[in-house]
Amino acid sequence: MKHVLFSRRLFFGVAAAAVAMSFLIHTHEQDHKAEVVRTEAARFASLKAEAEQLVADFPSGPDAQALGRVRMAYERARAAWPAPVLLPDAKVAEFAPLDIRPKPSGIAIAKVELGRMLFEDPRLSASGQIACQNCHNQELGWGDGLRSSFGHNRKRGKRNAPPLFSAAYRPALFWDGRVTKLEEQALGPMTNPIEMAVHDFSAVTARLGKDDIYRERFRSIYGSDQIDIAWVADALAAFETTLERPTRFDRFLKGDTAALTDEQVWGMHLFRTKAGCMNCHSGPLLTDERYHNLGLSLLGRPLGDPGRQAVTGLEDDVGRFRTASLRHVSKTGPYMHNGLIPDLRRVVIFYEIGGGKTRPLNDEQATDDLMRAAAKTSPLVKKFNFTPAERQALIEFLKAL
């Protein structure tokens, strides 16, 4: 019996010692990890302070030496970059390369190709004359280069055709964010009376069903040649997921610092600081995915547009539109929700003067609650003064996005 008690005591003693040793080892490992984190944080803080010093009191007309300093500041790890100048209401993510989806494989390839066929086919419209690509042309940055598109019977809407490059990556679609799925977005223009003017989807599927090639392709992908409009939307969405492409800025962010010129790096610094662009345009998609009033709603005028308010019904949303992604922005003009600004130079000047202003045309409008709401522009849009050289540097940076 004594032997058994001794064995138990020995066992529990060894077990307790093992637990104590494990605890000590775990504590040591945790302390070591914490020390590593503190050391790395201190190192990045030191690097950031050095970077801040490199760009401190940066001249508005820099020479080659000054441009070299700003490049040095941004050739470091992003955690050590000079901090952006931000306003209190901003919701910002640091710049990062976009993780572009891998190329499709297997049956997905066939679905993407079917989506391309449908995208280019005017039979998706009531008139049989308007295809998706009429307003979203690859050679025009997946837009159409117009202030607003011509649709059914040459009608024109009030909004600029949004470029489709990054549509598959966005949480909300259209200028007012009224849908969240690509499939919904794909069908939206088809039923819009100003765009493709389809009254009944069955007319579209019946038209496609008369085509032997379509019937065979739908059968091989979806298992039936009785074409469903949901399959049309699915194939169009699959095609739209393939449109995004890497940019020079992506390469720069991945470590290829030669991807940007010295002038473009300076433009990036201005984007993050003096111009305040990063208050709304940040992260991999260069957008905060929020809705802002830039003073361009033109409410009370022929091109007036309530924006997000038409979706939410909220008075505060009058004149607010979804922040555009700046990826490929040099290819996607004209700009703003209504296409009123034709080129990047004028876009920069628009922000230099503090954006637009919504003003009443008469006494009746002056007392209208919606007009008053539309006059309240975003607090994130602030005036700034650029020299011609600074303006051009920012434009050159935008061309790399």
Say what the pLDDT of residue 58 is.
74
For 365-392, what is the mean pLDDT?
95
* Residue in 352, 350, 381 with CA at minimum distance from that of residue 278: 381
For the four alpha carbons of 286, 292, 296 and 301, in that order, the dihedral sign comes to positive
Residues in CB range of 218: below 8 A, 6 or more apart: 114, 224, 225, 227, 231
One domain for residues 263 and 382: yes
Say what the pLDDT of residue 10 is.
43
Residue 232 lies in a domain: yes
Domain boundary residue, one of 211, 240, 269: 240
Q: At what angle do helices 182-191 and 229-240 cross, to 10 degrees?
A: 120
Contact yes or no for 200/228 (Cβ under 8 A): no
pLDDT tens for 266-290 read: 999 999 999 999 999 999 999 999 9
pLDDT tens for 1-55 read: 545 444 445 444 544 555 455 655 565 566 656 555 565 555 546 656 766 776 6
Is omega for the bond preceding 342 within 30 degrees of 0, making it cis? Answer: no
Say what the pLDDT of residue 64 is.
87
pLDDT tens for 199-212 read: 999 999 999 999 99
Contact yes or no for 124/118 (Cβ under 8 A): yes
Average pLDDT taken over every residue of the chain:
90
pLDDT tens for 284-303 read: 999 999 999 999 999 999 99
Give the annotated binding-site residues for heme c: 132, 135-136, 152, 277, 280-281
Residue 153 lies in a domain: yes
3-state secondary structure of 161: coil
One domain for residues 258 and 207: no
3-state secondary structure of 321: strand
**The CATH number of the domain where 300 resides is what?**
1.10.760.10
Distance CA 377, CA 295 (A): 6
Say what the pLDDT of residue 59 is.
75
Residue 71 lies in a domain: no
For 318-337, what is the mean pLDDT?
98
For 377-394, what is the mean pLDDT?
96
| Element at 320 (helix H, strand E) | strand 320-322
Say what the pLDDT of residue 63 is.
86
Distance CA 315, CA 332 (A): 30
Catalytic positions, please? 195
The two structure tokens encoding residue 152: 């059914």
One domain for residues 218 and 281: no
- Three-class SS string for 347-388? HHHHHHCCCCCCCCCCHHHHCCHHHHHHCCCCCCCCCCCCCH
* Residue in 322, 321, 344 with CA at minimum distance from that of residue 333: 344
Structural domain that includes position 123 = 107-240
Say what the pLDDT of residue 291 is.
98
Backbone phi, then psi, for 292, in 5-degree steps?
-130, 150
